[in-house]
Amino acid sequence: MKLYFLIALFITITLSLTGCTRSETKGETAMSENQLSSDSLDNQEVINRTDEEWQKILTPEQFYVLRKKGTERPYTGKYDQHFEEGIYFCAGCGTELFKSETKFDAGCGWPSFYQPSSESTIKYEEDTSLMMRRTEVLCSKCGGHLGHVFNDGPNPTGLRYCINSVSLNFVKKEGQKIK
Ligand SMILES: [Zn+2]
């Protein structure tokens, strides 16, 4: 009788341990599947063009800013004081980047947003040029330089995406409805 009890106990422990291991494995599998799908998505969506190819598509100013990480002169960009309702797309590849609802006048001379339309369409890189430590903002699809992001923005994010007008193409809300 005692032996039977011990065997039953042993089986119970073994089963519960196996259960644990199984659920852990499940979690790991789910994570690696997620990573895989996002990786493959990124690979699918990335646009790789040579400088020569970009030069054929972009204006000289767009090429200088988007592909050579240039900066337009402050207060000169067409979207600096532009507050119509609509969506701002990447001038290099047409990906949606910012919505007009998140645009604000930072007074810095460049279009400023407190949040991108989606984190997946933006990528960040550390930029230590010009003796400064800044975070560069790029289009994740075409790798085009958009501008920089700073920590002195308004609520709700406290961020200021300082973006070159040249890197953007604006489409009015009404225009989109007609399409
Ligand atoms: Zn792009």
Cα(153) to ligand 1 centroid in Å equals 23
Cα(13) to ligand 1 centroid in Å equals 55
Question: How much of the chain exceeds pLDDT 70, in percent?
Answer: 73
| Rounded-to-integer distance, Cα 3 and Cα 25, Å | 33
Cα(47) to ligand 1 centroid in Å equals 8
| Six token digits for residue 151 | 């920590």
Cα(5) to ligand 1 centroid in Å equals 67
pLDDT of residue 45: 76
pLDDT of residue 174: 77
Is the confidence at residue 40, as pLDDT, over 60?
no
Cα(84) to ligand 1 centroid in Å equals 22
pLDDT of residue 8: 52
Query: What pLDDT band is residue 158 in, cutting at 50, 70 and 90?
Result: very high
Q: Pick the residue with more confidence: 150 or 13?
A: 150
Task: Specify which residues 134 forms β-bridges with.
Answer: 127
Is the confidence at residue 22, as pLDDT, over 60?
no
Is the confidence at residue 33, as pLDDT, over 70?
no
Query: Which residue shows structure tokens 């001038």?
Result: 91
Cα(94) to ligand 1 centroid in Å equals 6
Which residues fall within 8 angstroms of residue 108, CB to CB, at 6 or more apart?
74, 160, 162
Q: Residue 153: which of 126, 120, 116, 122 has the closest Cα?
A: 116
Is the confidence at residue 131, as pLDDT, over 70?
yes
Which residues fall within 8 angstroms of residue 173, CB to CB, at 6 or more apart?
84, 85, 86, 87, 100
Is the confidence at residue 132, as pLDDT, over 70?
yes
Is the confidence at residue 125, as pLDDT, over 70?
yes
| Rounded-to-integer distance, Cα 154 and Cα 105, Å | 10
Query: What pLDDT band is residue 128 in, cutting at 50, 70 and 90?
Result: very high
Amino acid making up residue 22? R
Q: Which residues are catalytic?
A: 162
Is the confidence at residue 79, as pLDDT, over 50?
yes
Which residues fall within 8 angstroms of residue 129, CB to CB, at 6 or more apart?
69
Cα(145) to ligand 1 centroid in Å equals 8
Q: Pick the residue with more confidence: 100 or 11?
A: 100
Threshold 0.75, pTM exceeds: no
